[in-house]
Structure 1
Amino acid sequence: MQPADLPAPHMLRMQQTFEAMRAAHQADMLPAWPVRRDRLMRLKRLVMDNREAIAQAVSADFGNRSRQETELLEIFPSVDGIKHALSHGKRWMRVQRRGVSLWFRPASTRLIPQPLGVAGIVVPWNYPIYLTIGPLVSALAAGNRAMVKLSEYTPRFSALFADLVERSFAADEVRVINGDAAVAEAFSRLPFDHLLFTGSTNIGHHVMRAAADNLTPVTLELGGKSPTLIGPDADFDRAVERTLVGKLLNAGQTCVAPDYVLLPAGTEQRFIDAARKLVGKMYPDMARNRDYTTLISPRHFQRMVSLADEAREQGAQVLPLANVAPNDATRLFPPALITGGTDDMRVMQEEIFGPLLPLVPYRTLDEAIDYINARPRPLALYVFERSNSTIDRVMSSTIAGGVCINETLLHVAQDDLPFGGVGASGMGAYHGIHGFERFSKMKPVFKQARLNGLGLFRAPYGKTFETMMKLLVR
């Protein structure tokens, strides 16, 4: 279905919502801090007062996701991000003084943070709460209005959140748009003042093309194959544990999950043994374990099956880490390691987005670095190593959207760090002040003094001009 084929009432409602927000912004182009603070407080209450209902809706959409995992991975960072904006937002709004070259004094310059207007936010299904709240906090702290398109793969959460937003915000402040891919495409074609999309690299191409018709600036939070590099002097057991924890949260359905592991040649069996032991401790009796998340849909389950089957058929070993088979009825897909993979396998080319984890042995650190650099720049890079000189070498020789050293995932939860990709893994970044600036126009202003010397530089040009230019250009 193309946007033109959407039911006219749906298109009309979306357009009317946008126009109402645009008009509201024109009427108040620079909301004061108390207004922004009130919006952020209402967003915080929305999450805090409905934690249980939100967790239940998300679990129902996934088939099973534990309340504890939703609290840890979504509720906590969402609320923490709101608190951070509440603590610092008033300071972010201040006019910033900037320096003036000697030759332009006594003029002055400043930067005025100004809301862009109406922001569009497209949310994926894998972390529907956090990846809604995070961008929304940035947009509201910066003084914008926001329209949010939620995923059709999370219908229960999407319906609940739309209702909560309608009860918490005026129609010209925040609104949720629900619907399928055709609705998402039409949404992306609205003339937003900024559009933030989180999702796959493939869909990111379509979103950018749709936004281009209006020259809408975009922030694309995409994905890719994020490597874990276990260095030659790493705490190996810790590296296995933190890599597996990062991989198996949400059953690997995480844009920054470790996608493959580079490890010193000869340590593969040690990794396999440690991983099996760890999974047994984390998820005992996996077939009935409610802490382990199931895959979001039959299509995603079948994709994971086909990735594993194809790798096995092409000569790789698929090594289960639990004594349970994949279950298409419940969409339970147990974790497995892959050894002997080759670059032409889909599992080594596509972002996995599930609980399969290839092991890639290397002989030298240079070989490992070259392997990373031969591929599109990842959204995340995880380095386990005790030697600071080795860490510095990897840092200076690779480019990634974000890095954790001796840990996985947690760089995303730091509100003072920008979160975003690079190249195929995305463009632009947000969180904290970086999100505030992403959704603001940092308007530069030059103010001329009443008495100034710039009259010396106007026509007709003569000896005085030539003398002054010799001083300027030397």
Structure 2
Amino acid sequence: MTATPLRALFDAQHRASRAQVEVPLLLRRERLWRVRKLLDGHAPALAAAVQADFGVRSPRLTEVADLFVLRALLSHTLRHLPRWMKPQKVSTPLFLQPAQARTERQPLGVVGVIAPWNYPVQLALAPAITALAAGNRVLLKPSELTPHTSAQLAMLVAQFFAPDEFAVVQGDAALAADFAALPFDHLVFTGSTAVGRKVAQAAAANLTPTTLELGGKSPCIIDADCDLQDAALKIAHGKLLNAGQTCIAPDYVLLPRAHKAEFAQAYRAAVARLFPQITGNPDYAAILSQRHLARLQGLLQQAQAQGAQVQSMDPAPGAGAAQGTAVLDGGTSRQMAPVLVWGATPAMALMQEEIFGPILPVLTYERLDEAIAHVNAGPRPLALYWFGRNEATRDAVLQRTVSGGVTVNDTLMHVAHDNLPFGGVGDSGWGAYHGEAGFVRFCHQKSVLVQSRWAPGALLYPPYGARFDRVMGLLRRWLA
């Protein structure tokens, strides 16, 4: 799609949003039901498209990580939407009484969504669902790196929605740049911090507010008294879901120095339990492309050249399809075995970039202060995970660190809670959505004050004199 048809599509949605400022509950619910029908009727086709894009990505993984999440979001949104739409009464200060005040949650207009490739169905439709619930029109740009999924989404959305309600545009990075430059009423971007900066700059030219979900280096802090077997299993699950291609995946572990050998053994056992075989295992996703795989291999090679030790966690090396086969084998050659990295230093690219793969550096510490200082020395992460039993230690970690979200004694799970806002802070993004927080994000909260005929405001009108001084004196004493 070229820039001209893109602009025409945006203009059609913009006109429609201005022609129908107030969007009734019945229409919003009907649009959400159409999304539900889209998912219920075409889930296998969407899962097959994701599988085609990755080469190896089980439809069951797409079901739990993409489709189930969307179904849960739809159910939650439909149940709570009537309450979310109601005007919110606010108390009125004494000097403005007997006036009444409220905020009204109105649609913004047209919301743009630039979606990533790693969860190409969930991260495309989740913000769209919430934006539709808030009464907006939605224009979606899915990733060009998952062309089968993007084409399937474009076809299905066109079947269920008029172009001025919800539409999908397909194209490369150049089209994405044109997309970000449109004067949206709000723009949602999920992706890397580097690209997020460009999106924010493009949006700023139009004073378009943005929600940026950017990822980063999310730490796992393991306390000395935790159940290491349980922690290792949950860290392995969070790290290896989608082969580590998850924005909130544990990026590295901070481990008490005395537990190195025990953690390595526990993590190996956890990997074997989850994925008894790596190569050829349909439950273990492939790295998206040969380019992405080469980047991950380069991170490991550089770390090894600078003195780090790489420990493979493959429970069955050499099993399944032959290593090094062509990419045309369906993706098994891109099923990268999990590894632990010991002795990583801040100078290594491995510790500077978001890994986005099944590589897990393990850093050791003697005192909790060291672990907290390490987290605080870098950009604020999208997620933080803590494992342990001591509530005082847990609270110290939560109070002394800043991250987008936290899960205690597990990984990833805070993102599945629809009543918790999801978003980053600093380099990991800004703005949050999910549930009511997302609904409010995609609304304009209009302030309304309804003045009473008995309003005393005239007491403060000029000309100023003794009466004014007496009234102001009373107000000052009331405010003291």
Cα distance in 2, alignment partners of residues 410 and 210 from structure 1:
33
- Aligned residue number for residue 105 of structure 1: 97
Q: Does residue 290 of structure 2 align to residue 290 of structure 1?
A: no
Partner SS state of residue 138, structure 1: helix
Q: Does residue 396 of structure 2 align to residue 404 of structure 1?
A: no
Cα distance in 2, alignment partners of residues 108 and 19 from structure 1:
38
1:349 equivalent among 338, 348, 352: 352
Partner SS state of residue 120, structure 1: strand
- Aligned residue number for residue 301 of structure 2: 309
Deviation at 1:208, TM superposition (A): 0.4
- Aligned residue number for residue 17 of structure 1: 9
Which ranges in structure 2 are unaligned for 5 or more consecutive residues? 328-332
Cα distance in 1, alignment partners of residues 274 and 235 from structure 2:
13
Cα distance in 1, alignment partners of residues 171 and 476 from structure 2:
60
1:422 equivalent among 421, 425, 428: 425
Partner SS state of residue 220, structure 2: strand
Query: After superposition, what is the alpha-carbon deviation per residue over 1:219-247, rounded to whole angstroms, capped at 9, x for unaligned?
Result: 00001000001112211111111001000
Cα distance in 1, alignment partners of residues 467 and 388 from structure 2:
64
Query: After superposition, what is the alpha-carbon deviation per residue over 1:318-344, rounded to whole angstroms, capped at 9, x for unaligned?
Result: 111014376473212111000011110
When normalised by structure 2's length, the TM-score is: 0.96
Partner SS state of residue 473, structure 1: helix
Q: Does residue 201 of structure 2 align to residue 198 of structure 1?
A: no
Which ranges in structure 1 are unaligned for 5 or more consecutive residues? 1-8
- Aligned residue number for residue 272 of structure 2: 280
Cα distance in 2, alignment partners of residues 387 and 420 from structure 1:
27
Partner SS state of residue 423, structure 2: coil
Partner SS state of residue 75, structure 2: helix
- Aligned residue number for residue 337 of structure 1: 340
- Aligned residue number for residue 317 of structure 2: 324
Cα distance in 1, alignment partners of residues 272 and 388 from structure 2:
26
Query: After superposition, what is the alpha-carbon deviation per residue over 1:388-408, rounded to whole angstroms, capped at 9, x for unaligned?
Result: 111111111111000000010
Partner SS state of residue 40, structure 1: helix
- Aligned residue number for residue 416 of structure 2: 413
1:457 equivalent among 457, 460, 465: 460
In the TM superposition, what are the counterparts of 1:57-96 in structure 2 within 5 Å?
A: 57-96=49-88
- Aligned residue number for residue 438 of structure 2: 435
Deviation at 1:42, TM superposition (A): 0.3
Partner SS state of residue 285, structure 1: coil
Deviation at 1:281, TM superposition (A): 2.3
1:166 equivalent among 158, 167, 172: 158
Cα distance in 2, alignment partners of residues 297 and 472 from structure 1:
68
2:209 equivalent among 193, 210, 217: 217
Cα distance in 2, alignment partners of residues 279 and 403 from structure 1:
23
Cα distance in 2, alignment partners of residues 281 and 161 from structure 1:
35
Contact 2:380–2:426, Cα closer than 8 Å, also in 1: yes
Cα distance in 1, alignment partners of residues 134 and 142 from structure 2:
21
Partner SS state of residue 324, structure 1: coil
1:228 equivalent among 213, 220, 223: 220
**Structure 2 counterpart of 1:263, one-letter code:** L
Q: Does residue 380 of structure 2 align to residue 382 of structure 1?
A: no
Partner SS state of residue 59, structure 1: helix
Query: After superposition, what is the alpha-carbon deviation per residue over 1:56-103, rounded to whole angstroms, capped at 9, x for unaligned?
Result: 110110111011111111110111001111000111000111110011
Cα distance in 2, alignment partners of residues 277 and 239 from structure 1:
12
How many corresponding residue pairs?
466
Partner SS state of residue 311, structure 2: strand
Identity of aligned residues (%): 48
1:445 equivalent among 445, 448, 467: 448
- Aligned residue number for residue 393 of structure 1: 396
In the TM superposition, what are the counterparts of 1:10-49 in structure 2 within 5 Å?
A: 10-49=2-41
Partner SS state of residue 305, structure 1: helix
Contact 2:228–2:266, Cα closer than 8 Å, also in 1: no
Query: After superposition, what is the alpha-carbon deviation per residue over 1:398-457, rounded to whole angstroms, capped at 9, x for unaligned?
Result: 110000000100111111110000000000000010110000001111111112111110
1:123 equivalent among 112, 115, 118: 115
Ranges of 4+ aligned residues in structure 1 off by more than 4 Å: none
Deviation at 1:161, TM superposition (A): 0.6
Contact 2:308–2:343, Cα closer than 8 Å, also in 1: yes
**Structure 2 counterpart of 1:218, one-letter code:** T
Deviation at 1:285, TM superposition (A): 2.8
Cα RMSD (Å) = 1.1
- Aligned residue number for residue 368 of structure 1: 371
- Aligned residue number for residue 175 of structure 1: 167
- Aligned residue number for residue 3 of structure 1: none
Deviation at 1:152, TM superposition (A): 0.5
Contact 2:287–2:335, Cα closer than 8 Å, also in 1: yes
2:45 equivalent among 53, 56, 63: 53
Cα distance in 1, alignment partners of residues 94 and 276 from structure 2:
70
Cα distance in 2, alignment partners of residues 286 and 397 from structure 1:
38
Cα distance in 2, alignment partners of residues 403 and 94 from structure 1:
30
